[in-house]
Amino acid sequence: MRSFLRNRIGDFFLRTRGGRTAVPPKPLDLVVKTFGRGPGKPVLFLGDSSVERIAREDADRRTTAEMLDARLGGVVLGATHSAYHPTIYRHLLALFERLPARPRLVVVAVNLRCFSPVWEFRPEFQFRSEIGRIDEYARRGRLRPHRGDAPRDEAAWNRFLAHDLGLAESDLERVGDYIRLTESRPADPDGQTRRRRGLFMAHYLPPLAPDNRRLADLARTVGHLLPLGINILLYLTPVNMIAGIRHVGEHFALGVKRNADLVLQTVHGATSGRADARCVPLDFSSALDATFFFHREDTTEHLNQHGRAALAGILEKHIGSHGLLSDHPGHETDIP
């Protein structure tokens, strides 16, 4: 069963288009090609699978970044990768201190699930090899080929399984309990409901601490970009709130909001007193209803074509209303 799960995780890193599966270019390669060897683009869009995943039934096969690009007139570079998070964003965006071209605006999708132990401590989601490539380019200006990820370290995997989830009112105590839940395929309705309840809780309700390393990386990212005159639109990705409340209860929404508020407060603190550029952090965790996800019971952030189109429209509106592509940077921080 574990090998089955690992194969599925491997599939998770592939993107399907038109019935064909291909590995997309790494964000580092796209950024270096566009901003290091080319004239650049006004907008850089960084995100994870919530930006790039396409539902099997979707007639419109564009990602959220591609939809935003169409709305803004072809000025967006989408540089996304499944399971990317604030730590790898920090390393990647620090390159703009040395790259010859810079975007006017960076859109950053921050997935609340990346702060959960089930994602934060997963060995393959540390991206050490890719961060090494980024840092080597920063030091030497040399882009070495991606050599693939290191083989699974069983000791690291076992430490991951032992991490405490910190969940109240749940029989899921450690990450290993969550992994077993993901591997389960109950056929009965009650079992399916219990499974969804556990997944929603493990994904979004582990309490986020102010000293979380991903939060610190978000603050450092803001600190890198604003002095360079680069505007930032940082948004928390939509959560299937209606399904979460149905399976977990009203306290699901309260737990999500508590974590979301801490993320936005951290970003707000990093922008305080800065007048180099604008930073607009936005909470979209409850922006879309269940019909916009892959399916109404979806326990992840993956949006169907209607959800991606709606999100692209919301992003376009905020980019315009906050003047994030204007020629005269100011300072603005919105916390809804």
Considering only 8-12, 129-133, 256-260, 324-328, which range has the smallest mean pLDDT?
8-12
Spatial separation of the C-alpha atoms in residues 307 and 75, rounded to whole Å: 21
Q: Is residue 327 part of a domain?
A: no
Q: Is residue 267 part of a domain?
A: yes
Spatial separation of the C-alpha atoms in residues 138 and 14, rounded to whole Å: 27
Task: Yes or no: say if 305 and 292 are a contact pair by the CB < 8 Å rule.
Answer: no
pLDDT-derived band at 1 (thresholds 50, 70, 90) equals very low
Q: Which residue has 């000791």 as its token pair?
A: 155
Q: What is the mean pLDDT of residues 166-176?
A: 94
pLDDT at 188: 96
Spatial separation of the C-alpha atoms in residues 91 and 73, rounded to whole Å: 28
Total tally of structural domains belonging to the chain: 1
pLDDT at 327: 59
Q: Is residue 326 part of a domain?
A: no
Q: Is residue 330 part of a domain?
A: no
Spatial separation of the C-alpha atoms in residues 29 and 324, rounded to whole Å: 25
Predicted TM-score of the model (pTM): 0.90
pLDDT at 168: 85
The continuous run of DSSP H or E covering 27 comes out as helix 27-31
List, for residues 100-119, the tens digit of each pLDDT value. Answer: 999 999 999 999 999 999 99
pLDDT at 23: 60
> In this structure, what token pair is assigned to residue 285?
């965790």
Distances (CA, A) of 303 to 141, 149, 179, 279: 37, 28, 23, 25
Q: Provide the greatest CA pair distance for the chain.
A: 59
pLDDT at 234 over 70: yes
Q: Is residue 146 part of a domain?
A: yes
pLDDT at 120: 98
State whether residue 177 is helix, strand or coil.
Answer: helix
Distances (CA, A) of 91 to 48, 143, 220, 234: 15, 14, 10, 16
> In this structure, what token pair is assigned to residue 13?
């890193």
pLDDT at 257 over 80: yes
Q: Which residue has better confidence, 272 or 220?
A: 220
pLDDT at 11 over 60: no
pLDDT at 255 over 50: yes
Task: Yes or no: say if 54 and 63 are a contact pair by the CB < 8 Å rule.
Answer: yes
Q: Is residue 334 part of a domain?
A: no
Instruction: Tell me the backbone φ, ψ of residue 249, rounded to 5 degrees.
Output: 120, 175
Q: Is residue 128 part of a domain?
A: yes
Task: Yes or no: say if 57 and 51 are a contact pair by the CB < 8 Å rule.
Answer: no
pLDDT at 3 over 90: no
CATH number, domain of 252, equals 3.40.50.1110
- Domain that includes residue 238, residue range: 2-321
Q: What is the mean pLDDT of residues 86-98?
A: 97
Q: Is residue 336 part of a domain?
A: no
Q: Up-side HSE of residue 75: CA atoms within 13 Å toward CB?
A: 14
pLDDT at 24: 67
